[in-house]
Structure 1
Amino acid sequence: MLQISGLNQFYGESHTLWDLDIEITPGECTCVMGRNGVGKTTLMQCIMGLLPLRSGSLLYRGQDLAKLSAERRASLGIGYVPQGRQIFPLLSVEENLRIGLGARPDRSKQIPGYLFELFPVLKDMLQRRGGDLSGGQQQQLAIGRALVIDPKLLILDEPTEGIQPNIVHEIGDIIRRLMTDLDLTVILVEQKLPFARRVADRFVILDRGRLMATGAIPELTDALVKQHLSV
């Protein structure tokens, strides 16, 4: 689905991502893990085209992404839910959802009905301003906005951050349902270990911008957690 090879990225003279080689397997959820500030969000922004690469390649379904804009990547089927949600607080729920429609390959002007099956609260709040929603509802809106484009790859950056536990559990269920029902591939940035172990199939651990470990979730041992994830 996505082949990351020799990826390097800098902020000014600071080398933030170092020669990353990561393969995202189709139909699976890969959890990118690491302590704060190790480059997880930077990597997601590079994949989405919000930050340039200094070197390396990104191949999505065999197509080179390196020179494509974020808008073009979205139209190829890459959905992105950024850290902090970044919905438009003064726009209504419906307007937030409709913003994504322009990136759909089929140019449909209709919000997919299955979104309201996944997130019935959004249907009840279509005319409410995004900024008036609770944190959990805003996260559902952010995921819904990404799904509107009919993605094949969905990037979720810290989707459980600041969310109440019952909504966290619900988001985990929805991620697995999306993978089963829509054959989505998911990249999940997450620091909550129980959530990652429940939802993800594979893990990638970064430390100071370098790839430290990768494998199937059952291979995420206590020793790896202590070495690379414990604060």
Structure 2
Amino acid sequence: MLLSMQGLNQFYGESHTLWDLDLEVPEGRCTCIMGRNGVGKTTLLQCIMGLLPVASGRIAYRGQDLLRLSAERRAELGIGYVPQGRQIFPLLTVEENLRIGLGARPDGRRRIPEEIFALFPVLEQMLGRRGGDLSGGQQQQLAIGRALAIDPKLLILDEPTEGIQPNIVHEIGDIIRRLNREMGLTVVLVEQKLPFARRVADRFCILDRGRAVANGPMEGLDEGLVREYLTV
């Protein structure tokens, strides 16, 4: 198992946000974390990345305990992260944004991988443009490209379709499928759009009030689960 969590608990002040959460992410698969707003999806990803403290439990990546490691060290192990809202550096150029990801590469490479431009040709065309001048869809491509610059073995994406025009949503779905199915990259994503999730992911985990209430192969996500936990 590439990534596994057991008995995860997390608090925001007095609020208990994750409750004894268990989750396993098989290598080479695309797992979608699902659930209504406010159930702990982003909190879970931030705990994996070391951006939020964990009260108790275990997170292991390739058998190694992540909770002892800083966020920077987790990136160096090969975990790429695309946060909600993209969080690119708006005043830096596209090239400078991409180069920031190179600092976490264990091989010391300092050249932007050509594979990123093959996946996102628009980024190569806009290398000298400031990140803040890009459209929302282009910024999302830049955020994914920055995460890929570290040569990850696990790519974590938080709401990659949020606020993006439909044609770019479809393109990003194609990219995620290609990274996962052709290039063997393990993917974990949080996604609210059910058709997108069904198209790109082969496994799901539903959270409800901080607890994992259902998980398994995507074909097991039936209408009963959708009605109970996903419809607004």
CA distance in structure 2 between the aligned counterparts of 1:124 and 1:75, rounded to whole angstroms = 28
User: What is aligned with 1:70?
Assistant: 71
What is the match of residue 165 of structure 1?
A: 166
2: distance between equivalents of 1:97 and 1:18? Answer: 36
Is 2:36 aligned against 1:35?
yes
**2:229 maps to which residue?**
228
**Distance (whole Å) between structure 2 residues aligned to residue 18 and residue 107 of structure 1:** 39
Give the match's secondary structure for 2:103: helix
Amino acid at match of 1:207: D
Q: CA deviation at 1:44?
A: 0.2
RMSD: 0.5
**Structure 1 unmatched runs, 5+:** none
Corresponding residue number in structure 1 for 2:189 = 188
Partner of 2:177: 176
SS in structure 2 of the partner of residue 16 of structure 1? strand
Off by >4 Å, runs of 4+ in structure 1 = none
Length, aligned pairs only? 231
**SS of equivalent to 2:68:** coil
Q: Report the equivalent of 1:123.
A: 124
Instruction: Provide the C-alpha distance between the structure 2 equivalents of 1:188 and 1:41, rounded to a whole number of angstroms.
Output: 10
Cα distance, 1:137 vs. partner? 0.1
SS at the partner of 1:66? helix
The match for 1:145 is 146
Partner residue in 1 for 2:23: 22
Identical counterparts, % of pairs = 77
Amino acid at match of 2:191: E
Q: Which residue number corresponds to residue 45 of structure 1?
A: 46
Please give the per-residue CA displacement for 1:33-73, whole angstroms capped at 9, x wherever unaligned.
00000000000000000001100000100100002111000
Aligned equivalent of 2:206: 205
Q: Distance in 1 between matches of 2:24 and 2:113?
A: 30
Amino acid at match of 1:186: V
Distance 2:136 2:15 in 1: 34
- Report deviation, 1:215: 1.0
Q: Quick one: distance in 1 between partners of 2:15 and 2:195?
A: 33
Q: CA deviation at 1:180?
A: 2.7
Partner Cα distance (1:142, 1:190) in 2: 16
TM-score by length of 1: 0.99
Structure 1 residue 205 displacement after superposition: 0.3
> In 1, distance between residues paired with 2:199 and 2:181?
15
Q: Distance in 1 between matches of 2:147 and 2:18?
A: 26
Structure 1: which amino acid aligns with 2:184?
A: D
Mapped to 1, the partners of 2:183 and 2:74 lie a distance apart of 19
Q: Counterparts in 2 of 1:50-65, with a 5 A limit?
A: 50-65=51-66
Query: Relative to structure 2, which stretch is displaced further, 173-182 or 10-19?
Result: 173-182
Give the letter for the 1:109 counterpart.
R
Give 1:181 deviation, angstroms: 3.3
Cα distance in structure 1, aligned partners of 2:80 and 2:51: 13
CA–CA distance in 1 between the matches of 2:180 and 2:219? Answer: 19
